[in-house]
Amino acid sequence: MESPKTVRVVEPMWMDKALSYPAYLQLIESLLAEGKTTGPNQSEAFIHYTQLNSQRMHRVEKTVQLLPEAREKILAIDQPQTWLILTEGWCGDASQILPVVRALADLNPKIALKVLLRDENLELMDRYLTNGTSRSIPKIIGVDPATGKELFNWGPRPTALQEMFEGMRSEGLAFDVMKEELQRWYNKDKGVAIQKELVALTYNHPI
């Protein structure tokens, strides 16, 4: 949820390793068919989360409604951008966020959407720690494909929800309780906050 204070560069090697959005979805489905998920944690819980997230992503893809002002600003982008997303299949926040980001990116052919698995790319992830300590995902990095320079970065959640999460964590709420509250917030918001914040960063002014 910040614009870079100093110019950072995302090297070509990360782009070369990244998947297209459809390829990422296919990877998730292939792993689930084998009773697996992404990343080193292959617990039943993480596989279960991945299955739920897959269903949720398909639902959000069908129901997301883009704001007219967000659509207008994304369509007006006239310079190529790559939106690189660090994530994992078991991430509940990503299941709500990625379909909205994909819908925005699909509006403009100058925007390329790429996905990297966090746990296979920790060197890059560690440049984008939340509060300087946490490998929270998803993390979206806007990149100038000609130079590799970072244009913006966003994540892991809309500002209001991140503040709510940190408050719940400070109160010591159980993880499952926090997870339910987060999903309830996303279902109520319907992708509006994600659109507003991402488009504002893309243009560096609010909508």
Range of the domain at 26: 12-201
Number of helices (H), then strands (E), belonging to the chain: the values are 9, 5
- pLDDT score for 202: 87
- 65 inside domain: yes
- pLDDT score for 204: 61
| Number of separate domains in the chain | 1
- 7 inside domain: no
- 1 inside domain: no
Read off the pLDDT of each residue in 196-206 and give the average, rounded to a whole number.
79
- 48 inside domain: yes
- 61 inside domain: yes
Of the candidates 142, 172, 135, which has an alpha carbon nearest to the alpha carbon of residue 41?
135
Q: Tell me how far apart the alpha carbons of residues 22 and 114 are, in angstroms, rounded to a whole number.
A: 10
Segment 169-190, tens digit of pLDDT: 999 999 889 989 999 999 999 9
CATH of the domain at 155: 3.40.30.10
Whose tokens are 């069908």? That residue is: 62
Buried b (16+ CB within 10 A) or exposed e, 92-115: bbbbbbbbbbbbbbebbeebbbbb
- 174 inside domain: yes
What does pTM read for this prediction?
A: 0.93
Segment 67-85, tens digit of pLDDT: 999 999 999 999 999 999 9
Q: Tell me how far apart the alpha carbons of residues 107 and 80 are, in angstroms, rounded to a whole number.
A: 13
Segment 103-160, tens digit of pLDDT: 999 999 999 999 999 999 999 999 999 999 999 999 999 999 999 999 999 999 999 9
The Cα-based distances of 128 to 3, 61, 138, 195 in angstroms read: 12, 27, 11, 21
Q: How confident is the model at residue 5 (pLDDT cuts 50, 70, 90)?
A: low
Res. 3: pLDDT tops 80: no
Give the mean pLDDT of the chain. 94
Segment 12-31, tens digit of pLDDT: 999 999 999 999 999 999 99
Q: Tell me how far apart the alpha carbons of residues 167 and 165 are, in angstroms, rounded to a whole number.
A: 5
- 5 inside domain: no
- 206 inside domain: no
